[in-house]
Structure formats: C-alpha cells, structure tokens
Structure 1
Amino acid sequence: MELEAIPGVGAKTAESLRSLDDPEDALRRGDVAAVARAPGVTDGRAARIVRGAIRARHDDPGGFLATDRAGEVYERVLALLQERAVTDYASQRLRTFYPSAAESRIAEVNEFAEAAMERDPDPAVLDALDGVAPLSRAEGLAVRDRCLATTDAETYSAAQDAFPELSVEVVEDARGLADLARGYSTVVALDEAFTGVEVDGDVRVEPDALERPEEVVPERVLSFFATNRDRIRAAVAVHEAAGLETDVDLDELDAALTQLDSEGSVTGDDELDRLSTAVDDLDAAVSTAESVANDHLREVIQEQDVTIEGSDLLSLVERGAGVDSLLSRELADEYAEAVDAARDHLVDALALRDGEASIAEQAFGDSPTFPVDHDPEAVSRLREELTAARDRRSAERKRELAATLADLREPTRELVERALELDVELAVARFADDFDCVLAERGGRGFAIEGGRSPILDVAFEAVEPVDYGVDGVALLSGVNSGGKTSTLDLVAVVVVLAHMGLPVPAESARVPEVEELHYYAKSQGTLDAGAFEATLRDFAGLTEGAARKLVLVDELESITEPGASAKIVAGILEELHEAGASGVFVSHLAGEIRDQCGFDVTVDGIRARGLEDGELVVERSPVKDHLARSTPELIVEKLATEGDGTGGDGASAGSFYDRLLGKF
C-alpha cells in the first residue's frame, strides 16, 4: 500500500509512518496502537489514518454521515461500543469501524461481527484482559561492558547503525584491541584479519556479528521481553481463560519469563547469583575477615604470658624490632591460626571456588602483624576475577535465554495481538447481548424494523418499549408531543448507521436500504432568520441530486418558519424526493396540512395516543401505517368533553363548549 495514497496522509505523515517496523502490516490489521507510535501521531489521528487505509482498500469515497446529527448518532453508538472494551487498544480499534456504502467493507465487518457474536464474554477472560496492552519497544537500552572494533570506516558506519546499544571503536592493530580489552569486559572484533591474534582479555573475532544481533547484544531481546513481561503474561492468561489456540508453548514462554527481572537481567541461576553476591559482598567480607583474625589474636594476647630474657629484649630493641617481631617469635602459631580463620571466613562468606579461593588466601599474608590487615592488591585481583567470572556467566546466560526468546518473539507478538483482538470481538459481543441485537439485511428502497429499541435514549434499555416501523419511499410521521417521534427517528438512524458499519442492530429483525448517505436533520431551535432559512433551503435542494442513494430523516422542519409557509415548503421537498426515488421520514405536527399540499399520495403514519391517564400521555410507540395521529390539545379537549366538567359554571354548558371545541379538530 502506497502510504501517500491513503486519504488524509501527506508526505510528512507518510515519512513518520515509515519509522514504524512495518506500517503496511499495522494499517492492514487496523492496529491503531501501532500507528499511534509513529512520531507526531496521536491516538485520534491514528484512528483516522487507519480508517483512511480501510477506505482506500475498499475504494470507499466516504461521506456516509452527511449531517451533524447523523455524526452525533454515530458517536453515541461508538461510545456504547467503546464502553464495552476492556483495553485501550480495543477502544481505539473500535474507532476504525465506521458506516460505509462499500459492499466489500460491510461484508468484511459482517463476517467479523457474526463470529464475534458467538463469543462468550466470560468474566474470567475480561479480568485477564485488564492487563493486556500492545507490546512496546524497549527504550534507552545501552550496553557498557562490551564494544565492537574494526579498522574499516564502512564497517564502522554499518556497525553503528546495526548496534546503537554498543560503542563502536576504530583500531589500527592488535595493540588497539589490547587497549580496548583493558576497558571492556568483551571486545568483538569485526575484521577477519584479527583471526589468530592473541590479546589478553575477552576478545572475540566475529566477522559475521552484524548478521547475528541477538547473539552480540542479547540484551536487545531480553529488554523487549522484560519491558513487556506483564503484558505477555496477561495475554497468556487470556488465552488460557478463553481456550484460544496458539503456536506458542505457553509453559516454555512462562519458564523463560521467570528467568527475567524487570530490568532485563537473568535470574534464577545459582552460579550467577553466587558470583554477583560475591562481588557485592567482597568489601564487607574482607572487613569481617580482618575482625575475625584480630579478635582471635587479641584474645590470645590477653591470655598469653610472654616471658622475654633481658638479653633478648635488648637484642630486639637494638635491631629496631617491634611487636611484629615479638608476634613472630612468641605467637607464630597463634598468628597462623588467626590468618587461617580470616581466610576461611572470606572463602566461606563469599562461597568461593578453588581458583577464587587461592586468590582470596593471598589477601592475608603470612608475615605477622597486628592488627591484621588485608593486602589491597590481592583483594583487587580477587575482585577482578569475580567480576570477570560474573560477567562471563551473565553473558553466557543472556545468550542462552535470548536464543530461546528470540524464537518466541514473533509468536509472542501474535499471542498478544490475538488477545487484544479478542477484546474487540468481545466488545461487539457484549454490545449485541446488552441491546438484543441481530445482523440487519440490506436492500430495497426503504427500511423495516421489528422490535427495535433505541440504546441512545436517556432511560435504562430494559425500560425502552420495542417499536415496529417500516417505510417504503418517503413518509410523514405524526404524533402527539412526547409521543416518541424523535426517538423513532433516532432508532431508524441507529439501525441504519450500525447496519452500514457492518455491526449488529438493536432489533428483533431489520432491513435497511442500500444508501450512500444518511441525512438526518434535527429539530430546529426556533424560527430561522432570512439568511439561515435560505441556507437551509439550499441544503434541501441539494438532496435531490442522487436522492435514490440517500436516506433522509427530518425532525419538525416546519419550525424553521411560519406554519402556513412551512407546510408548503415541506410538501415541495417531499415531492422532489419522491420523484427522485429517495427514502425518508419527515416528522411533523403539520402532517395533515402537508398531505393536502403534496402533489402525490404521500404516506402519513402516526404514533397513536390512547389518551391521558392521571395527566400522563399513553401512546402506542409503534407508528400505525396510514394514520394521522391526534394532537395533544385534541386529547385534552376530548378528555374534558367526556368528563363534561367545567369550573366556575354549569357542567352541562361547559360540556357543550368542549364538544363544540372538539368538533373543530
């Protein structure tokens, strides 16, 4: 897919998208989260880009939601879907579902929705989904204990690009390698010419290192899994709870993750733990070993009676000898015991092995001295030995674990993506369950809804009365105030929008027309001034062009101007739409007047009122075909006439007044 060919994607945005690992795949999958990782692309922008890619793939010109009110209905429906998503990913992914006239797109989502509706929104699965999120890159990785070395400028440049985590150095010869080896635990020479060169330190000649990044920098793989460990484990829990199939050996993956800490270091290796502890505890162990030796000597000296002949004392003084000579002569055995105790403590405290123990023994010399002190050079050598052994063991374990995880990386990515997509499916399934939805049929000129209930009313869905309503062509819908005319229009709009999204609709059954545009005009707030009135007429004049592929829903258009004129205007609009083959419903309190003005036999449907009970209007919510509904004032007058009751006068004369008034309707 050519990125610049996507609607709304210019050269700058395309360049930003190319920084992603595989932007075409992300767009194909509708992965809004992946697209949002591109520099400068917000979540909302990413959703629009993905929708643009979908439109380009299905040759969809867009523009289905032709009015503000149609867009509002879509946003309300979308919000209900998003409320049923657990993850942020699914919430953003649902924004890529939009109403379309493209048959291939609707069929694609229909297939998705049909499978989704078979899903069981198990609470255990929903709980597990709470921890799942798209996998992210490990940021800021830097490896300080090794470097790459080369004599070639071109290789140097390639190595810098391939290994941003490592230092890359240019050397002239083996001496340069030796200098690097004194500053790094490991030096990887990239030039085959260095093969066979003997240099002190861990210097490896690996000309093919650029082709084996996971072996040279195992931290790259380990950091990725460490960064995403909790998300991966949550995805594993989702698969187990939902019984999803996967190509990943979940036990192997869990065992590998158990060996990683949050920083990407290897855990659970006894030898590495021993060496790491020895390095960390070395200074404290040496200090304690000194104390062991000195405590032993102090105790011996306090309890020892030392007798020195005068000639011996004189001889020691003349030679300038001090207490060390005295210890050597009188307490040689006790000193040796003290040093042995210090050495044993150091070896035991650090759990040193044979070669390490030999170096540790040199930390305390055989020459008597008091207080006993360690040899800094010997301790430094021991530190270097332990540190080198620790780093070698760590590198070995990292390479082993990275080799295992490298093979699991792509399957794990698919594992997480499948869990996230399941959340999208479950959101659709929950929407369908909560609002008793079915997939709608498409075709014909008008629409037919049976048992439809609008989910965007400000009442609990369980309290919404089902509505049956259908229109073939254009029709007028009449009814009393607060009788449900506007909510019926909303229901039609909701069903049409969802059906053209390819998603299930809230009805027992539904058929919608195959239209390219939904024009829904909300009730105007008061009479319009001349300029606004003219603009409104221009809008309706444009509806007649290609009207056969449009569905028009209008709520009380007569409110834009005087009642007498508005009846004529609405009648003229209906005539134009009828002749153009459009489908639509016009809600009006002037349905009778409009019918009289129409040049064709326009259908007038009505929401029938049964009357007033305790001051409350009682209506049949499903519109009755070919029925001009009575107005609220007529119902009130009828009620008063039936009661024959007046105030401040004779009841009979009042009843006669109401009868005469009723006769005017």
Structure 2
Amino acid sequence: MALKLNPEAKAVYRAIREEIRKRLVLPESSRFLDAFEPVSDTKEILRRQDYLRENLPRIKPELRDCLSRVMPITFRRDFLHDRILVVDESEVEKAEKLNLCEVTPNIEDTEEYPLVLSTTGHGIDVELTPSQVAPELYVLPLWENRRTLEALARIGELTGRESVAPRILKALRKLDDVMERQEAIDSIEELVAEKERELNERISEKLERFSLILSGKELLGFLDELKARNYEAIFRHFGGIEGDILDLINGAERELGERLGVTVELFSRGELYPVSVPPERVEMLREELERELKVELYLRSREILGEVMPLLQRLKEELSTVHELDFLQAAKEFTGGFTFPGIHGGGITFINGRHLFIENPQPVSYVVGKMPEGFYAPGSEVIKDERIVILTGANSGGKTSLLELTAQIAILAHMGFPVPAEKAWIEPLDELFFFRKKRSAYGAGAFETALGAFVRALRTDGRKLILIDEFEAITEPGAAVRIIGELLKVAHERGFYVVIVSHLGEDLKAELPFARVDGIEAQGLDGSLNLIVNRQPIFGKPGRSTPELIVERLARKKRGKEREIFERVLRAFREG
C-alpha cells in the first residue's frame, strides 16, 4: 500500500526522485524508479532493502560508461525488392503472408533478380520462415549495433553475469570481409577517381624522367606525333616506355580489385596518357558487384543466424537488464555513504543525518518517539518516548531544515532506500504530512486554509508523522497557543507523531505536559558578525531565540546616532 503524502511531502518525494532520475543514463530506466514509490507495508520495505543490499555492491563506477554505449536493437520487417521466392502454387498464399519479398510459382519470373530463393529446387533452397527468406533482417541490426554488444559484454564482466554478447560478436566476424566490400562498393566512384588521379601522377613523373636519343629522321617523326598528341605512338616507337605504363595500370587495377574483392579491368589500354575510366563502366561494375554481394550477404547471414538465433531471447533479456542496472547505478551514485534504516515500532530516529539539498550540511541527530538503544545526542538522557515534539530556537538556526531532513529520511526509508544518516530507525507509516511556513500568505484566508489542512491530517486513524513549520506565523500569538495546543492534544490522543517548529515553546509546554520541547541555540557572533549556531537541537531544553544577538550585530555594524540607539536597546536586553 502506498504511503500517503500531502502536497508538501509529495514535493520532497519529487525532489528526491528527480535527483535519482537525473543520474540515469538511459531514459527508459525510469520505469524501475517508478516501482520504488514510498509504501507503508513493512514486508515490502524490507524486500526492497534486501534487493538493494544484494545488488548495489555489485555496481562498479565503470558501468556508467558502458551503459552510455547501449542502444536499442530493433529487428526490422522490411520488404526486400532484391530477391524473389519461387514456390509451388499451393505455397503462394503462405509465402505472400510473410510480406518479405516478391513471390512467384514461375521460374521464368526471376530473370531480373540478383537473388533467387526457392522451395522447389530452383535457386537457393529455403524454408518458408522469415529467418530463411531474409536472414539479413536479423543479422544486419546486430552488425550495426556491435558497439552495444561490446558494451553488453563488458557489463557482463563488471557485474559477474554471463552475457551472450561475446558469442554473437564472434559469429558476426564472419561478416567482416563482406561488409568491407560493401563499404568499398558504396564509395566506388571515389575509389576509382582517386586511383585515376594517382595513376596519372605516376605516369607524369615517369614521363618527366623519360629521355630519348634520336636520329634526325626519328626526331621529325617524333615531332609529328607530339604535334598530333599521339602519345601511344610516341611510347610505342620512341623509347619502350609503354610497358612501364602498362605495368602501372595493371598494378592500379590489382589494388582496386583487392578492395572490391574481384578482378577488374577498368582503364583503357588504347590511350595510355592521360588514363581515365568512363562513368558508365564504373556504374556497370557497381551493379555487377552489388548483385554478387547480395548473394554472398544472404549466404553469410543465414550461416550466422543459425548460430545466433538461439541467443536472441537471452540478448533481449540482457537489454532489459541494462535498464535495471542503470537504475541501480543511479541509486548507488545518489545514496553513496547512506545507510539502511532499521525497522522498529517507535517513531523515527537518526544519528548524524545530512540534509540532501544543503551543501556541506552540519550532521544532526534527532528522535521523535521512542529512543533506540545506542542513540546519543546532547540532552538525549531526558527523552521519554514523546510523540509530540516542539522545536524552538534561533532564527536561521536550521529548524526548517531539520523538518525537511526528517521528511527526506522518512520518504527514502519508505521507498526501501538507504537514508542520509550514520544510523537510522523508523516505524513504517501510513501517512506523512509536511506543512511548510507560507512566508507570503497572511490574513484570515491563509489561517483558514492552514487550519483546515491541519484538521484533515488529524481526522482519520493510522500511523502518521506530521511536520509543521511555525503555524503561529499566520495568526495572533495568544490564539495560536490555544489552537495549536488543542490540535496537538488531538494528535497525542490518536497516537500520531508530530514535530512542530514554534517560538511559543514554553507557552505550549505549559498546556501540553506530554510534549517535549527541544531547542537550537545561537552561541554568539563570529569575526564577520555572523551568527554562530550549533544546529544540533538540545533535547528537553527550549532554545533561546536570536533578537539579542541581532541587536548586538546591528549595534556593532552601525555608526553615529543609529549605533547609540541599538546599544541602548542591547543594554535593556542585558539588564532585563
């Protein structure tokens, strides 16, 4: 059953949840966080604690980087126009329902297709299953997500969980050479153009070093050929350089063939300089290579899929587990240094609690209800299992922050999480109410609203913790004592836990003998005239407020007539 929270308490829960959520690497992981909303059931709280105790220690810092490299793997269901499936007449309807490629009962219809599949003994024999007709639709997404598979393999190593990713990656290596050729085919124009430029440069360098010794008659013939730009005749008749150029061309074609995985003859032998390749020849080569590669890709994919298909369900589970691990790493990062609270039947207690949203907070210990064995803080020897506590003391001394910390610890404990304290104990609650001081709301309307909300918190039974910040700020002090006193009597009669921040501690104590009054005191001014405050409440002792110290600070800061007036007021404090 969910822990009921009033709007201010829900705001504390949302702030905690956001702190955890922003540490997630994968947005989808928030669904695991959703499963940890605060609950009131003791067994569920303990189950969550056991789960986190077991799993948080396994989370290593390196996990975050691995998680950031995990992407969803989606197996497509595309219609492939590069193949046709030949089936018997009786199988046509079944084959068409696959909706993966063209289907025909006639072998004559297959002439234009690079890949012909068949269940009748023609082409490449297949069964009528998606994995047989189009294995690439399974294998290519795995190939494209190798980075994810590598991350999953590393996550398995870090968490000590067996992963199927290494076996899938090993099988995918059979596709390496096919995909290298695919990459080369995709950039064939650039490859040919680069080789053409390189070849002409090398021929040009060879021509620069070319020298001839000619007779007069040969010189005249040479000049005629040069004038006609008949380089082929010059190379053939004057100097024997033609063989060297042909060697360069053959070498360039061999290099291209190695990249493309096929023997090619692209460059013209008719005109040896400058060499060039007609665009139509490049396009014809591309089409030929793509037809061959489609067959090779299909055959390799079918082989690979035979190995990895039994692993795909496990892979899906691993990908789901990644989100759980992401939640765990965010939870561990958020709760570093926290401790799991003990469950007991005496309210809420914590030792050296640290406010979640204050930088470098002073640790504070506090008890509402029964004091557990082993607890100690200033004045704790006077604690008598008081469920109603009045917190008094210095302005800006940390009273509101202590209420907030109490709410934070209570909510985290009911989520099943560790809490920001050295030690903590809590009684599982049914409801948590937090009433903040509304600094901008005054008058009858504000008083009526606040009073109504307070009464609603008291009207039903159950295990409740009620935190109230300066209720008297919205009404007259005299009326506040009577109203608050009677409401706290109702809370006491119903067995609720209440912490109320008030400057009316001594007046309320006179009305409520069952209540404990704690105090946070200012101890003086530092060299910069800032208040020195020990934020640890002293149990059972009302805290002095700070007017005297504020007057002293002003007296020391001001000059002239203003200082004289403040010093007079200060003397009145001390003499009185």
Q: Per the shorter chain, which TM-score range?
A: 0.7 to 0.9
Do structure 1's residue 147 and structure 2's residue 76 form an aligned pair? no
CA distance change for structure 1 residues 592 and 134 in 2, over 3 Å: closer, same or farther?
A: farther
In 1, the alpha carbon distance for the partners of 2:319 and 2:164 equals: 11
Q: Which residue pairs with 1:423 in the alignment?
A: 326
2:524 aligned partner:
612
Q: For residue 273 of structure 1, report the CA deviation from its aligned partner.
A: 9.0
Amino acid in the other structure paired with 2:356: P
Corresponding residue of 1:216: 133
Q: CA deviation at 1:111?
A: 1.5
Give the C-alpha shift of residue 489 in structure 1.
0.7
* 2:382 is the alignment partner of 1:466: no
Within the candidate set 444, 454, 462, 2:355 is matched to: 454
| 8 Å contact kept, 2:522–2:546 | no
* Amino acid corresponding to residue 393 of structure 1 in structure 2: E
Residues 400 and 501 in structure 2, CA contact (< 8 A), matched pair in contact too:
yes
Higher relative contact order (CA 8 A, sep 6+): 2
Q: Report if aligned partners of 2:368, 2:497 keep a CA contact under 8 Å in 1.
A: no
Quote how far apart the aligned CAs of 1:473 are.
Answer: 1.8
Residue by residue over 1:338-381, the C-alpha shift from the partner in whole angstroms, topping out at 9 and shown as x without a partner, is xx9999889957759xxx98x989x99xxxxxxxxx9xx99999
What secondary structure is seen at the aligned counterpart in 1 of 2:424?
A: strand
Q: Which SS does the other structure have where 1:137 is aligned?
A: coil
Instruction: Give the Å deviation of 1:616.
Output: 3.5
The Cα shift of 1:135 comes to: 1.9
The match for 1:399 among 298, 302, 308 is 302
- The answer to whether the aligner puts 1:225 opposite 2:142 as a matched pair is yes
User: Matches of 1:346 and 1:613 in 2, distance apart?
Assistant: 87
Shift of 1:407: 3.4
Q: Which residue of 2 aligns with 1:236?
A: 153
Match in the other structure for 2:112: 183
> Could you tell me whether the CA contact under 8 Å between 2:393 and 2:519 is conserved in 1?
yes
Cα distance in 1 between the residues matched to 2:515 and 2:15: 30
Overall identity of the aligned pairs, in % = 26
TM-score, scaled relative to structure 2? 0.72
Mapped contact 1:484–1:607 kept (Cα < 8 A): no
Shift of 1:506: 1.0
Aligned counterparts of 1:540 and 1:504: Cα–Cα separation in 2: 30
Q: Tell me, in whole angstroms, the C-alpha distance in 2 between the residues paired with 1:619 and 1:380.
A: 83
- Residue 439 and residue 275 in structure 1: after superposition, are their counterparts in 2 closer, same or farther (change >3 A)? closer
Deviation (angstroms), 1:480: 1.7
Over 6 Å off, 4+ runs: 272-286, 340-347, 377-385, 636-640, 653-656
Instruction: Report how far residue 218 of structure 1 moved.
Output: 1.5
Q: Is the 8 Å Cα contact of residues 87 and 423 (structure 1) preserved in structure 2?
A: yes
Q: Which residue of 1 aligns with 2:69?
A: 132
Q: Do the aligned partners of residues 386 and 441 (structure 1) sit closer, same or farther apart at CA in structure 2, a change above 3 Å counting?
A: closer
* Structure-2 separation of matches of 1:509 and 1:494: 14
Over residues 135-169 of structure 1, what are the superposed CA-to-partner deviations in whole Å (9 max), with x where a residue is unaligned?
Answer: 24256855331134564674255222xx3xxx344
Looking at structure 2, the residues matched to 224 and 553 of structure 1 have their Cα atoms a distance apart, in angstroms, of 55
Matched to 1:75, the amino acid is R
Aligned counterpart, 1:506: 420
One-letter identity of the residue aligned with 1:183: E
Cα distance in 1 between the residues matched to 2:318 and 2:410: 35
Matches within 5 A, 1:105-116: 105-116=44-55
Displacement of 1:537: 2.4
Distance change >3 Å, CA 520–CA 157, structure 1 → 2: farther
Match of 2:5 in 1: 66
Structure 1 residues 390 and 275, CA gap change in structure 2 (3 angstroms): farther
In the TM superposition, what are the counterparts of 1:281-430 in structure 2 within 5 Å? 388-430=291-333
Work out whether residues 232 and 412 of structure 1, in 8 Å CA contact, stay in contact via their aligned partners in 2: no
Say if 1:157 and 1:586 are closer, same or farther in 2 by CA, change over 3 A: farther
Cα RMSD after superposing both structures: 5.0
Following TM superposition, by how much is the alpha carbon of 1:527 offset from its aligned partner in structure 2, in angstroms? 5.1
Q: Work out whether 1:159 is the aligned partner of 2:98.
A: yes
User: Would you say 1:245 and 2:161 are equivalent positions?
Assistant: yes
CA distance in 2, matches of 1:281, 1:134: 32
Provide structure 2 residue ranges, at least 5 long, that are not aligned to the other structure: 204-213, 218-242, 270-276, 370-385, 555-561
Residue 588 of structure 1: CA displacement? 0.8
Instruction: Map 1:603-642 to 2 at 5 A.
Output: 603-609=515-521, 611-614=523-526, 615-633=529-547
Structure 2 residue identity aligned to 1:484: G
Aligned residues: 510
1:437 pairs, out of 329, 338, 351, with 338
Contact 1:360 1:379 (8 Å CA) reproduced: no
SS where residue 467 of structure 1 aligns? strand
